[in-house]
Chains A and B, each alone.
Chain A
Amino acid sequence: MRRLLPLLLVFLCACAGPSATAGDKGGLVPLRLDAADLSRAYTPRRLALLVGVSSFDDPQWRTLRFSAKDATDLAAALKDPARGHFDQVRVLTRPEETTRDAILAALRQLRREATRPDDVVMVYLSAHGTLARDGKGELTRYLVTRDASYRAIPQTALSMDALKAEFEQLPSRRRLLVLATCHSGSGKSLLPKELEVELAGIKSGFYARPLEESSRASMVFAASDWGETAREDEGLRNDIYTYFLIEGLNGPADRNADGAVTATEAHDYSRRRTFAFTEGRQRPSAEILEVGADPVILAGRIDRTGQPELFSYNPRLDGFLLKVDGEPRLELPGGAAVGPGRRTVELTKGDAVLVRREVDVARGERLPLERLLADAIPRRALSLVGGMMSFADGKSRRELLPAAPQVGVVLRLEDLPLQNLGLLVDVGLGHGRKKLQVAPGSEVPFGYTALTLGAAVPYLWRWERLTLFAGPRVAALYLGRSFDVEAYSGGQRYFTVSPGVVGGLAWRLGERLELTAQGHGMLTYVVVDGQGQAVGFIGGNAGVGYRF
């Protein structure tokens, strides 16, 4: 659109001259347009809605000392032309502005104002958070608004789901939600007693994934990780996270020194400072899917090409230490600016080195570390495996083919045909002699050859060294039996293609070698004595793989 702007101005200027005499109908009407006004109309707007809920109607909710101040302090930084230079900052702190309906109304108003995809929109909430069972009995997070009743949370408080739904409806693709609230039962969170008892019995699995998830177009930052406590501090006179967020907007957060503080830079700065200030008790979280050019600039302007940046917010790399040229720089998630040129980048945890790579980085470049990881670990693996195959039911095992050993080759191609999917091709061969048992005590010796060819497209779950996979599989089975007994001498052959499922794991031993194991279950159609029947066919194997 910016490229079209000069053309549009030329066109409008050309049209600005008189083209028809007075009184004529039709023709072009001269308009007086100011180029600056026109340019301003096409400039993305910067809008913020900041909510600080300090006091509550229900005395069960403890008054928060600094929530309103958090909002007003952050507003000052955002309005400041030298810092945030936001075009519009709305602050809701008064009691009548912090009810559930008032907050939802303000969000809808924001939706009407921020109409362009490239508008920058920031929504900030500082309040109590709590948990309660919703109408379906599911544990749901709620923002405690001024009119929220401690005994009727689902009916009176603002559910995070509703908040998120409103946020997601904003037309802007540069939107940021900051939650200076928590829900762990202490600090800025208050929970009903019975819920506290229930939560005490719930382990980390419940806390595994915070609500602060984001769509591709959104960034959601939280002042504390799921299950932790967001705290206000008397000395800082703010919510701790908010204090350092504002501090970061003054400039220190601009890690790549390009003149602007982006949302991720501000969060990383505040996260590190909060973590240090609380001595590790508070660990702000972020969920960011938008990578590459960070679109949300919170303060300053990009007036020069920034230093190269290395970053990762991928949960797979959480806790890894980023070393650049041997120097520890950062514990992930987060980002670090480095000098341009050739750098030795390492990701380590304890003595283990996940990856060490030489990379060339240039000014202005932002390198996601997971890309480095993806390049470092080959995504193809060829494995030699051995295992067993068998019909699932005893009758088929006795009368068709007993469980038999098998050797094979498995080829796994990761991220094919799509990201996080894999293409799994396996070939297995079993050959030997077994005995049929068509009647108790009766054994009929025979030779067999079983050949399987399978193809699967499983979903991949990958961690540092472990990869789990599971998905649909199609396999062809050839079974040949040869008999040489008094009543029958000859061969029988059977071929079928079966649908089924496969699941397995791969444990990476090093950069190239891995241990792998997989099992499959198929539904196979066989014809025995002229009668067709569907039977289960299972198999499992394990072996060593080579990544290439």
Chain B
Amino acid sequence: MRRQCLFLTLSSLGLGLGACGSLDNEPFRAGTVRGRLTEFDPAVALVSVIGAPGVRASVDAQGRFTLEDVPAGPAELFVVATEDKAARVPLTVQGGQSVDVPDVAPRPAGSFFVKLHTQGSPRVTDAKASVDGTPIDATQLDDRAPRRLGPLPDGCYGLSVSAPGFISTAVQGCVDEGKQTALNVELVPEEGFAEEGCARTGCDDDSHCALDGHCVECLDTIHCESSEVCNGFRCEETIP
């Protein structure tokens, strides 16, 4: 009896392992979204999905767009129609199927006005900024000239900024229709970057890089006003 029970148990396990066929859900993990923009500039019009900026499509001459391989489930379209108009469209993507969204009427867009600052005197060059989850980004940013990032439909976004020698930073900001929102982003130098000296990081416009790697007011009298002389890396009034 015991042997029979053992045999039965082992047979069951053996048979259990011997399954055949397979079930495939892969085709149903993404779907297609179709729609049309009522107003658009073919040169800049772009449709993507928030959170999946790699899924994007342009529009045809009639403003129609088709987004494929959109992850199934709740999603939100990020629509850039013209330089200053955009929209966000929430929807649910049905796996393996197409979803037709009603005609999308873009609204006046807002934008971020990004100013970069640093802790200390190092210069920021060649920085990159991107609005999280969207295709909106900018390169070659520095701490001299603020840059506009947009157009952005009304809403709140995360902004990620990175620059060589600085710790990547993320900030949050919200934009309103047709308005520009200033975002002051302070970048923190990476450990050791500042210590490498101004020969690598540079100095701001009012200072000069000394041989010891520090930014100083002057190295020579020519760096001072005409009535001043450079004395001990500082510009001083000449005493008659």
Question: Which A residues contact B (CB, under 8 angstroms)?
Answer: 399-400, 418, 436, 438-444, 457, 472, 474, 479, 481, 483, 485-488, 492-499, 523-530, 532
From known contacts A438-B28, A487-B27, A499-B12, infer whether A526 and B19 are also in contact, taking CB-CB under 8 Å.
yes
Tell me the nearest residue of chain B to A483, going by C-beta: B96
Distance of A113 from chain B, by nearest CB (Å): 36
Of B38-46, B67-75, B188-196, B198-206, the one contacting chain A is B67-75
- 18 A-B Cβ contacts within 8 A? A436-B25, A438-B29, A440-B74, A442-B93, A442-B95, A444-B96, A472-B8, A485-B96, A487-B96, A487-B97, A494-B19, A497-B15, A499-B12, A499-B15, A523-B16, A527-B22, A527-B23, A532-B19
Distance of B74 from chain A, by nearest CB (Å): 5
Interface string of B21-56 (1 = CB under 8 A from A): 111111111111000000000000000000000000
Checking A441, A481, A488, A523 against B23 with a beta-carbon cut-off of 8 angstroms, the contacting residue is A481
Given contacts A436-B25, A525-B17, 12 further A-B contacts (CB under 8 A): A444-B28, A457-B8, A472-B9, A472-B12, A474-B8, A486-B97, A488-B28, A493-B21, A496-B18, A497-B12, A499-B9, A525-B16
> Residues of A contacting B125 with CB < 8 Å?
none
Counting chain B CB atoms within 10 Å of each CB, the highest count among A440, A492, A497, A523 belongs to: A497
Contact of A474 with B21 in the complex, beta carbons under 8 Å: no
Distance of B114 from chain A, by nearest CB (Å): 34
> Residues of A contacting B97 with CB < 8 Å?
444, 485-487
| Residue B239 at the chain A interface, CB threshold 8 Å | no
- Ranked nearest first, the 5 interchain pairs of A and B with the lowest CB-CB distance are A439-B73, A499-B12, A497-B15, A496-B19, A487-B96
Secondary structure at the B interface, as helix, strand, loop or mixed, is mixed
Tell me the nearest residue of chain B to A440, going by C-beta: B73
Contact of B24 with A529 in the complex, beta carbons under 8 Å: yes
Distance of B237 from chain A, by nearest CB (Å): 73
Checking A440, A479, A492, A498 against B24 with a beta-carbon cut-off of 8 angstroms, the contacting residue is A492
Distance of B3 from chain A, by nearest CB (Å): 14
Question: Which B residues contact A (CB, under 8 angstroms)?
Answer: 1, 8-9, 11-13, 15-32, 71-74, 92-98
> Residues of A contacting B30 with CB < 8 Å?
487
Contact of A488 with B16 in the complex, beta carbons under 8 Å: no
Contact of A488 with B96 in the complex, beta carbons under 8 Å: yes
Distance of A323 from chain B, by nearest CB (Å): 39
> Residues of A contacting B25 with CB < 8 Å?
399, 436, 438, 528-529
Instruction: Give Cα A229–Cα B115 distance, bound, in whole angstroms.
Output: 97
Contact of A439 with B29 in the complex, beta carbons under 8 Å: yes
Counting chain A CB atoms within 10 Å of each CB, the highest count among B24, B32, B96 belongs to: B96
Tell me the nearest residue of chain B to A401, going by C-beta: B23
Distance of B76 from chain A, by nearest CB (Å): 13
Tell me the nearest residue of chain B to A474, going by C-beta: B12
From known contacts A439-B71, A442-B93, A487-B28, infer whether A528 and B98 are also in contact, taking CB-CB under 8 Å.
no
Q: How many A-B residue pairs have CB under 8 A?
A: 119
> Residues of B contacting A400 with CB < 8 Å?
23
Contact of A441 with B96 in the complex, beta carbons under 8 Å: no
Tell me the nearest residue of chain B to A418, going by C-beta: B1
Distance of A75 from chain B, by nearest CB (Å): 44
Instruction: Give Cα A316–Cα B73 distance, bound, in whole angstroms.
Output: 60
Contact of B72 with A524 in the complex, beta carbons under 8 Å: no
> Residues of A contacting B17 with CB < 8 Å?
525
Instruction: Give Cα A530–Cα B25 distance, bound, in whole angstroms.
Output: 10
Distance of B67 from chain A, by nearest CB (Å): 14
> Residues of B contacting A418 with CB < 8 Å?
1
Contact of A441 with B24 in the complex, beta carbons under 8 Å: no
Instruction: Give Cα A526–Cα B12 distance, bound, in whole angstroms.
Output: 15
> Residues of B contacting A524 with CB < 8 Å?
16
Distance of A63 from chain B, by nearest CB (Å): 51
> Residues of B contacting A441 with CB < 8 Å?
73-74, 92
Distance of A289 from chain B, by nearest CB (Å): 19
Counting chain A CB atoms within 10 Å of each CB, the highest count among B1, B8, B21, B29 belongs to: B21
Contact of A527 with B28 in the complex, beta carbons under 8 Å: no
Tell me the nearest residue of chain B to A399, going by C-beta: B25
Distance of A369 from chain B, by nearest CB (Å): 28
Tell me the nearest residue of chain A to B74, going by C-beta: A441
Tell me the nearest residue of chain A to B11, going by C-beta: A474
Tell me the nearest residue of chain B to A445, going by C-beta: B97
Tell me the nearest residue of chain B to A479, going by C-beta: B23
Contact of A439 with B22 in the complex, beta carbons under 8 Å: no
Distance of B50 from chain A, by nearest CB (Å): 16
Distance of B49 from chain A, by nearest CB (Å): 13
Counting chain B CB atoms within 10 Å of each CB, the highest count among A436, A481, A487, A494 belongs to: A487
Instruction: Give Cα A499–Cα B13 distance, bound, in whole angstroms.
Output: 6
> Residues of B contacting A481 with CB < 8 Å?
23
Contact of A442 with B28 in the complex, beta carbons under 8 Å: yes
Instruction: Give Cα A528–Cα B26 distance, bound, in whole angstroms.
Output: 9
Checking B9, B26, B72, B98 against A439 with a beta-carbon cut-off of 8 angstroms, the contacting residue is B72
Tell me the nearest residue of chain B to A417, going by C-beta: B4
Instruction: Give Cα A436–Cα B94 distance, bound, in whole angstroms.
Output: 10
Instruction: Give Cα A267–Cα B24 distance, bound, in whole angstroms.
Output: 71
Instruction: Give Cα A495–Cα B16 distance, bound, in whole angstroms.
Output: 10
Instruction: Give Cα A493–Cα B8 distance, bound, in whole angstroms.
Output: 27
> Residues of A contacting B93 with CB < 8 Å?
439, 442
> Residues of A contacting B15 with CB < 8 Å?
474, 497, 499
Contact of A497 with B96 in the complex, beta carbons under 8 Å: no
Distance of B116 from chain A, by nearest CB (Å): 38
Instruction: Give Cα A485–Cα B12 distance, bound, in whole angstroms.
Output: 37
Instruction: Give Cα A85–Cα B73 distance, bound, in whole angstroms.
Output: 92
Contact of B95 with A444 in the complex, beta carbons under 8 Å: yes
Contact of A528 with B22 in the complex, beta carbons under 8 Å: yes
Counting chain B CB atoms within 10 Å of each CB, the highest count among A436, A439, A443 belongs to: A439
Instruction: Give Cα A525–Cα B23 distance, bound, in whole angstroms.
Output: 12
> Residues of A contacting B1 with CB < 8 Å?
418
Distance of A162 from chain B, by nearest CB (Å): 29
Contact of B23 with A442 in the complex, beta carbons under 8 Å: no
> Residues of A contacting B22 with CB < 8 Å?
492, 494, 527-528, 530
